[in-house]
């Protein structure tokens, strides 16, 4: 359970003009108005259309060049090595060691922002992909010919390995008592790297990166929100959100999104009086089963994480079953796959709203951690004396930004679902009626998000 002090807010927001819960009502109203606006002003699908224009050639070629790809890959490998080295050899204080802040803040949160703004940047920096490709290249040279073809990636696996990978990462961050201990971060990185190399050797580098490697799949989903997309050797522009409309609903995609939203939900709920009230009782149950006190609490938190993921899954399935009940002759599975892409902006809204201050404040720690990655007093770049400026943003401004993220994310989700309904249903009116239930889901996720944020200072 990560112990950064600035996790979700610093002080109570006592001077808001209206009660916090009323923001939830206002947000729900914005969604209803947006829904009506979409029904009236958006009569045919627009996001499913093919539209991509390359950027001016010199810029496009430079950004998508092999040399830059190789340089980014080398940087990614260097950072991976630094995380492992600092985690194993540095001081075992999470705030003073490079590894925890880099993994849980810069990588896990910062890359989400970069992916939305600049496209799938992690693909270029992915250290496992870079190493896999380099090894394959060297092996081809050494064998003086083509290597044996990898196994076919089993279609039924879909995005299930990525969902499992993200769930385990969330468990390390939110469930394991020493999950932010630098040594544990380094060991987890080594174990994950080894598993990734084995999977890439079996199924091929690109096949595993595209579907199975948890972080590649995670950041790729967020990159589909933004307007930048690389095709072949060129970088171009597309309509924002249209990358999501082209998301293939592979098996495990709903589970993956449920993990993405559910893990943030649990992180927020874990601060609520509701959870702090029942967690000790659950831990006692595990102690009665023979668990040690520390492991009993971890088991309780693990159960809470799973419950949050299942809650998100159930809420989505409620919307899907409601949409199915309206008519149209689609199965629940078909509808669940058809609308799953609309959960991605919700996942982004949850991450942005919940971790906004963590990224803003703890992200500044990178300035001194790069100079002293091991926490041993070194000052490589002369920035080891830097401190975190907690006055960057006030508590009320933080709340307004958080509400803005939540509302914007859910309006984007409504837009995606509306556009897909128009493409899916022959009868446009039936398509809109099916979306009443998806609107209920969006209002539900909005209410949940704002309640969770309010719990940070409860």
Partner 1 sequence: MPPIAHAGHWITSIAYFVPVLGFIGWLIVTQWRERRKGNG
Binding site for partner 1 (CB under 8 A): 19, 21, 24-25, 28-29, 273-274, 277, 322, 325-326, 436-437, 439-440, 443-444, 447-448, 450-451, 454, 458
Residues in the chain: 458
Smallest distance from partner 1 to CB 27, Å: 8
Buried b (16+ CB within 10 A) or exposed e, 320-358: bebbbebebebeeeebbbbbbbbbbbbbbbbbbbbbbbb
Nearer to partner 1, 43 or 280 (CB): 280
Nearer to partner 1, 19 or 233 (CB): 19
Nearer to partner 1, 256 or 453 (CB): 453
Q: In 221-332, which ranges are E strands?
A: 228-231, 234-238
Smallest distance from partner 1 to CB 319, Å: 10
Nearer to partner 1, 22 or 138 (CB): 22
Closest alpha carbon to 129 in 209, 214, 230, 68: 209
Give DSSP secondary structure letters for 308-335.
HHHHHHHHHHHHHHHHHHH-SS--HHHH
Smallest distance from partner 1 to CB 259, Å: 22
Nearer to partner 1, 215 or 275 (CB): 275
Smallest distance from partner 1 to CB 444, Å: 4
Burial of 387 (0-12, 13-18, 19+ CB in 10 A): exposed
Closest alpha carbon to 254 in 337, 157, 171: 337
Smallest distance from partner 1 to CB 216, Å: 34
Smallest distance from partner 1 to CB 281, Å: 8
Smallest distance from partner 1 to CB 273, Å: 6
Nearer to partner 1, 150 or 444 (CB): 444
Dihedral sign from CA coordinates of 447, 244, 257, 73: negative
**Is residue 181 within 8 Å of 375, Cβ to Cβ?**
no
Nearer to partner 1, 204 or 322 (CB): 322
Q: How far apart are CA 137 and CA 73, in angstroms?
A: 14
């Amino acid at each position: 359970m990560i112990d950064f002090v600035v996790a979700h807010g610093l002080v109570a927001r006592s001077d808001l003009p209206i009660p916090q819960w009323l923001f939830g009502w206002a947000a729900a109203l914005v969604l209803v108005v947006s829904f009506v606006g979409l029904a009236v002003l958006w009569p045919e699908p627009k996001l499913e259309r093919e539209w991509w224009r390359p950027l001016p050639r010199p810029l496009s070629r430079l950004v998508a060049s092999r040399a830059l790809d190789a340089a980014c890959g080398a940087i990614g490998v260097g950072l991976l090595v630094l995380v492992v080295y600092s985690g194993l050899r540095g001081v075992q204080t999470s705030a003073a060691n490079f590894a925890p802040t880099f993994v849980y803040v810069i990588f896990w949160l910062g890359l989400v922002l970069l992916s939305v703004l600049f496209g799938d940047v992690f693909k270029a920096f992915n250290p496992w992909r870079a190493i896999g490709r380099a090894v394959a290249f060297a092996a081809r040279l050494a064998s003086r010919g083509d290597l044996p073809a990898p196994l076919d990636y089993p279609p039924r696996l879909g995005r299930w390995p990525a969902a499992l990978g993200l769930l385990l990462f969330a468990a390390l961050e939110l469930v394991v008592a020493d999950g932010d201990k630098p040594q544990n971060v380094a060991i987890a990185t080594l174990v994950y790297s080894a598993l990734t190399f084995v999977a890439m050797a079996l199924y091929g580098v690109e096949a595993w990166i595209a579907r199975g490697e948890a972080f590649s799949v995670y950041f790729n989903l967020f990159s589909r929100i933004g307007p930048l997309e690389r095709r072949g050797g060129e970088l171009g522009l597309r309509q924002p959100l249209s990358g999501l409309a082209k998301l293939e609903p592979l098996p495990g995609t709903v589970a993956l999104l449920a993990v993405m939203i559910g893990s943030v939900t649990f992180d927020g709920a874990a601060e609520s009086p509701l959870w702090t009230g029942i967690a000790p009782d659950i831990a006692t149950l595990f102690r009665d089963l023979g668990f040690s006190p520390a492991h009993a609490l971890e088991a309780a938190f693990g159960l809470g994480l799973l419950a949050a993921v299942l809650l998100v899954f159930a809420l989505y399935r409620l919307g899907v079953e409601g949409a199915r009940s309206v008519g149209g002759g689609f199965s629940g599975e078909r509808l669940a796959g058809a609308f799953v892409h609309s959960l991605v902006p919700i996942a982004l809204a949850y991450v942005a709203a919940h971790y906004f201050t963590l990224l803003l404040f703890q992200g500044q720690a990178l300035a001194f951690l790069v100079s002293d990655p091991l926490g041993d007093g070194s000052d490589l770049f002369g920035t080891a004396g830097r401190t975190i400026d907690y006055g960057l943003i006030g508590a009320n401004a933080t709340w307004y930004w958080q509400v803005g993220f939540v509302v914007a994310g859910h309006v984007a989700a409504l837009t995606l679902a509306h556009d897909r309904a128009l493409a899916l249903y022959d009868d446009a009116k039936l398509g809109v009626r099916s979306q009443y239930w998806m609107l209920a889901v969006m209002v539900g996720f909005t209410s949940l998000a704002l309640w969770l944020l309010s719990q940070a200072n409860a």
